[in-house]
Structure 1
Amino acid sequence: MSGFTLKPQKGTVLITVLLFMSFLSIITINFIRDIKINIAQFSNLRDINQSFWISHSIENISKTIIEESQRLNPSSSILPVIWERGPIIFPFRDGLVSADISDGSNCFNLNGIVKAEEKNKYIRNNDGVLMYSNLLSSLDFSDAEILVMVNSLVDWIDTDTMPGNGGAEDIFYMTAESSYRTPNNLISSISELRAIRGYTEEYFQKIKSFVCVLPNTFHNSINLNTIRPDQTNLLVMLIGKKLNLSVADRIINSRPKEGFRNLDSFWSLNEFNNIEIPNLAKQYVTFKTKFFTLKAKVYLNDSFISISSKLGIKDSGEVYRINKNYGINL
């Protein structure tokens, strides 16, 4: 009888051993998989970290280029011809960098839609409202859309809590599914527009090339010799609807290769013969740039980052960083 009782025990032990080995195999496979994942994650983190350092180097190189350009041509701001052709590609081992330096003054400073009445107190700036309205109109927004977009932006920044016509204050945003308040302070990034009433993603993409953010409420002076053919809406922004966009296109596309010599030669163009130029337009045009924009993309193995830096120039000629943003699509 004892011989018969041992066989089931041996079978049970065998099954137990097989189950244990299977369990151990599963643990080993998962352990190896986790190691591979950790190695891949470490490699990605290493590449991303290296990409950040590469982008920092590109920014320093760009500062040097701008400083040298200003030193060689202190009375005007025309970048070397190589940068006028668009992004420059710098290949390196395991990747490449695409870098583009452009005039950072040729845009509407969103914070210029208000003015500082006193420290940290902001009120509506009618000149800024007019210029921004002109810009939106040149981009084919309707009057109703412009009303909402302009006044909502003013309400987002200004200090009071009373919404303007078509605008929005806290009471509007607090009733949203994800409630939040207006900052009642200057905007720090153009991406904030996405949180403001009237700015859909479609509208944001439509205007983002024409607007910028500076840490003040000053209006940028548009550099007539660096404004690109795809930025002629900025001339309409200054002069108003009296200047047809097609005429603005013709003015910039026929600009002398060496640029306009002086403001008189610009305002004496035939295209302005029947247009009364507002003082606002004459006040905010220049040949000297105070701000530049660096846009760079770093590709390293399977990692990718995009940076956008706003650079300013001190009176001493030194270039400094105003702000810097990282992302995927800037």
Structure 2
Amino acid sequence: MTMLFKKRKGFVLISTMLIVLMLSVIASEMSKAFFLDIRKEGYLSFDAIAHTKRIESEKFLLNFIKRELNKNTNVNKQNPIFNEDLIFQFDDFILQGSLTDFANCFNVNHLITFKAGKSKDNLKAIKYFEDLLLNYEINYLDTEQIIDQILDWMDDDDVPRNNGAENYFYASQLHYPREYTSKRLFINKSELLAIPSINRIKNRDIWKKLCIIPMSSNFYLNINSLQDGDKYLLSSAISQSNLNEAALMIKETPIEGFSSIKEFLEAFNLQEKELPIALDISSNIFLFNGTISYQGFSYNFKTLIKKENNFNYRIIDRL
């Protein structure tokens, strides 16, 4: 009887421990689910107010940029507004980010111009873009297809170029989703992904140097804010096939910048008539890459800002 009692006692003890363990596991999982629900609820609440915080941040940024650039109008490597991380403390959230010169990327809209609804190829821009693609070691056939397909997407006719594509392709079963060419300038960079040949460069370094200024064909390089990674842009602009030479020019640009394009050209023995695109010593378009932090949550955003002729600033795109 004693032996049987001990066995029963041991069995009960083990059973009790297993029950306690199972209850602990269940409680732990319930706690995880509970806190996850709380976290989700908090995230949904933040997501609902994130847009409001962004609008508040952008309104502040426009005034901040105007004030700072009125004090120091130079858009160069020396201006702290472009060379330091920006951090702002609001009542209930923190905004941090960086401001960059958006001039130093190729605006694909520059390839074509519109006047009274009629499109016209920008031959100098096309030659520049061709050199840029080749500088990034994109092969010649891909280069021709990329250029022709972009032009066909924007131009006002339905006649395909030698390496292009028009509505007969985009509206066919060969293309998904079925659509029609825009017959206008690009509004957003994502539109480029509709063009089949773009798939060959969207994961290449050059993709980062292509941009869209919404419904604008303006493009120029600000020589005073160029970084080492912009050597391809500069090399194509000055018809300099040696990337090391272009990199050296960027390195030797004074930190305070050149006071005129003439000074830049003379410094490196260049002729203005040889340039396929416009150069400038300043800029009027900027990209703010920011993060809003609020009660443990964060929201990333990009805002494109343009300086107008009246020295006011406005938002032209939210990326």
Scaled by the length of structure 2, the TM-score of the pair is 0.78
Distance 1:80 1:265 in 2: 18
Identity of aligned residues (%): 20
Alignment of 1:120-199 (within 5 A): 121-173=118-170, 174=172, 175-199=174-198
Give CA-to-partner distance per residue, 1:46-77, whole Å, 9 cap, x none.
11233333333332333223212331234x32
The whole-number CA distance in structure 1 between the counterparts of 2:184 and 2:155 is 7
Structure 1's 202 and 263: CA in aligned 2 closer, same or farther, altered over 3 A?
Answer: closer
The offset of 1:137, in angstroms, is: 1.7
The reply on whether 1:254 has 2:252 as its aligned counterpart is yes
The 5 Å alignment of 1:60-79 reads 60-74=59-73, 76-78=74-76
2:311 paired residue among 301, 311, 317: 317
5 Å-filtered alignment, 1:142-291, equals 142-173=139-170, 174=172, 175-200=174-199, 202-203=201-202, 206-240=205-239, 242-270=240-268, 272=269, 277-281=272-276, 284-291=278-285
Structure 2: distance between partners of 1:160 and 1:47: 47
- 8 Å Cα contact 1:110/1:213 also seen in 2: yes
Q: 1:67 to 1:219 in 2, by over 3 A?
A: same
71 and 98 in structure 1: CA distance in 2 versus 1, 3 angstrom threshold: closer
How many residue pairs were aligned?
Answer: 287
Contact 1:152 1:167 in 2 (8 A): yes
Structure 2 match to 1:99: 97
* Aligned-residue offset at 1:93: 9.6
Give the residue type in structure 1 aligned to 2:44: L
Structure 1: distance between partners of 2:126 and 2:243:
20
- The Cα of 1:151 is off from its aligned counterpart by 0.8
CA 1:39–1:145 in structure 2 vs 1: closer, same or farther (change >3 Å)? same
- 2-structure distance, mates of 1:152, 1:234: 21
Separation of aligned partners in 2, 1:129 and 1:198: 16
Distance 1:40 1:72 in 2: 44
2:46 paired residue number: 47
Q: What is the alpha-carbon distance in structure 1 between the residues aligned to residue 290 and residue 32 of structure 2?
A: 35
1:261-306 Cα offsets, whole Å, 9 max, x none, are 3222211124x4xx6554444x611112121111113354675433
8 Å CA contact 2:257–2:281 kept in 1: the answer is: no
What are the superposed Cα offsets for residues 19-43 of structure 1, whole Å, 9 maximum, x if unpaired? xxxxxxxxxxxxx999988755432
Secondary structure of 2:256's match? coil
State the 1:197 CA deviation. Answer: 1.8
Describe how 1:2-17 pairs up with structure 2 within 5 A: none
How far apart, in 1, do the equivalents of 2:164 and 2:299 lie?
36
Cα distance in 1 between the residues matched to 2:237 and 2:78: 27
Which segment drifts farther, 202-211 or 248-257?
A: 202-211
Tell me if the contact between 1:114 and 1:217 (Cα under 8 Å) persists in the aligned partners.
Answer: no
Q: Please give the per-residue CA displacement for 1:67-91, whole angstroms capped at 9, x wherever unaligned.
A: 12331234x3237744443544557
Structure 1: gaps (5+ residues):
1-31, 326-330
Q: Matched residues in 2 for 1:207 and 1:86: separation?
A: 25
CA distance in 1, matches of 2:271, 2:241: 10
Farther-moved stretch of structure 1 (207-216 vs 98-107): 207-216
Letter in 2 for 1:291: I
> Aligned-residue CA RMSD in angstroms?
3.0
Q: Which residue of 2 aligns with 1:305?
A: 299
Contact 2:148 2:161 in 1 (8 A): yes
**Secondary structure of 1:63's partner?**
helix
Report the residue type matching 1:265 in the other structure.
E
Contact 2:112 2:119 in 1 (8 A): yes
Question: Any stretches of 5+ residues in structure 2 without a counterpart?
Answer: 1-30
1:263 and 1:134, CA in 2 relative to 1: closer, same or farther beyond 3 A? same
Q: Distance in 1 between matches of 2:60 and 2:91?
A: 19
CA deviation after TM superposition for structure 1 residue 105, in Å: 1.6
| SS in structure 1 at match of 2:292 | strand
Q: Given that residues 159 and 184 in structure 1 are in contact (C-alpha distance below 8 angstroms), is that contact kept between their aligned partners in structure 2?
A: yes
| Pair 58,140 (structure 1): closer, same or farther in 2 beyond 3 Å | farther
Distance 1:71 1:302, change over 3 A: closer
- 1:115 aligned residue: 113
SS for the counterpart of 1:268 is helix
CA distance in 1, matches of 2:193, 2:84: 28
- CA-CA distance at 1:147 after TM superposition: 0.4
> Distance between the aligned counterparts of 1:65 and 1:237, measured in 2?
35
Match of 1:164, SS state, is coil
